[in-house]
A = this chain, B = another copy of it.
Amino acid sequence: MEPVSPADLTRTVLDRHANVPDVRLKEIITSLIAHLHAFATEVRLTEQEWAAGIRFLTEAGHITDANRQEFILLSDTLGLSMLVDVINHDAGEGSTESTVLGPFWVADAAWRENGAVIGRPDDGEPLHVFGQVLDLGRTPIAGAVVDVWQASGRGLYDVQDPQQPVGNLRGRFRTDAAGRYDFWTVRPLAYAIPDDGPVGKMLAALGRHPWRAAHIHFKVSAEGCRSVTSHVFDAEGGYLDSDTVFGVKPSLVRTTSVVAGAPPAPFTGDEHRSIEYDFVLVPK
């Protein structure tokens, strides 16, 4: 009797899924099994390595709770989250590219007036952010919603940090008749993702660091347009070429300028940094 080969077994497992009732589920499971088996066969996965994989997933499951999502960190650090973003947000020519939402967005953030200050001197260096929301023909869109959030200079978002007031470094703005938005915050700094779990151990074993490039999150929406979830990255903030979740797209990087002029209170000094950043939305 012929012994069973790896290829025989893969064929048997795939054949077992010939009659999956849901067409889309069949497509997904068939591709998943084919690639999972191809991976194990290609590297000739040992029983010890398989067992290490089971232990890794078990530890990731056990550290995951309402405030910590190790499987999302795993997806992020293997580039899967960004891949799903790229697959699903094939931006039209000239429109703003998207990037990961991340775990720190909060629904229904406070509404703020244009020109408002959303950060504190303790959070970092004053930064003026302004620009326009435009359509593909570069016509300004009035009444667009610009939802903003970012980490403080300590590398934490308000929802992670008892030392920040709720809603710090966060807010929703509406563009004016000329499509303009405008707010004062602090210059974003690079920060490390939570690295005290199995994903942190994995990054260390791979010789990778846990740092994200300095960024401000945006979620921009307007009637009749597709919303875009994006970041603006600080060109001088570091880690642009090695952002640990692969979130950097070249079109999203901006250099801050140093501008003469005092920032509004509670900031002090007689100059400040600024970023001008326009968003281009595509029709639905």
Instruction: Identify the A interface with B (CB < 8 A).
Output: 1, 3-6, 9-10, 12-13, 16-17, 19-22, 25, 27-29, 31-33, 35-47, 49-50, 54, 57-58, 60-62, 64, 69, 71-72, 75, 78-88, 90-91, 97, 205-208, 242, 246, 249-251
Contacts and interface: CB of A to CB of B under 8 A. Distances in A.
A45 B9 contact: no
A250 B80 CA distance: 39
Given A31-B42, A80-B37, A88-B46, A208 B5 contact: no
B88 A33 contact: no
Contact of A36 (B22, B35, B88): B35
A41 B83 contact: yes
Contact of A78 (B36, B54, B72): B36
List of 8 A-B pairs having minimum Cβ-Cβ separation, nearest first: A61-B61, A13-B79, A35-B35, A35-B39, A1-B251, A57-B71, A50-B84, A31-B43
Nearest to A72: B54
For A17, A29, A69, A83, the residue with the greatest tally of chain B CB atoms inside 10 Å of its CB is: A83
Of the candidates A38, A72, A87, the one having the most CB atoms from chain B within 10 angstroms of its own CB is A87
How many chain copies does the complex carry?
2
Contact of A50 (B35, B41, B80): B80
A206 B79 contact: no
Contacts of A208: 16-17
Contacts of A21: 207
Contact of A246 (B1, B9, B38, B54): B9
Nearest to A8: B86
A103 to B, nearest CB: 11
A9 B64 contact: no
A200 to B, nearest CB: 15
A197 to B, nearest CB: 12
Contact of A86 (B4, B27, B46, B207): B4
A17 B202 CA distance: 12
Contacts of A60: 57, 61
Contact of A97 (B4, B37, B42, B64): B4
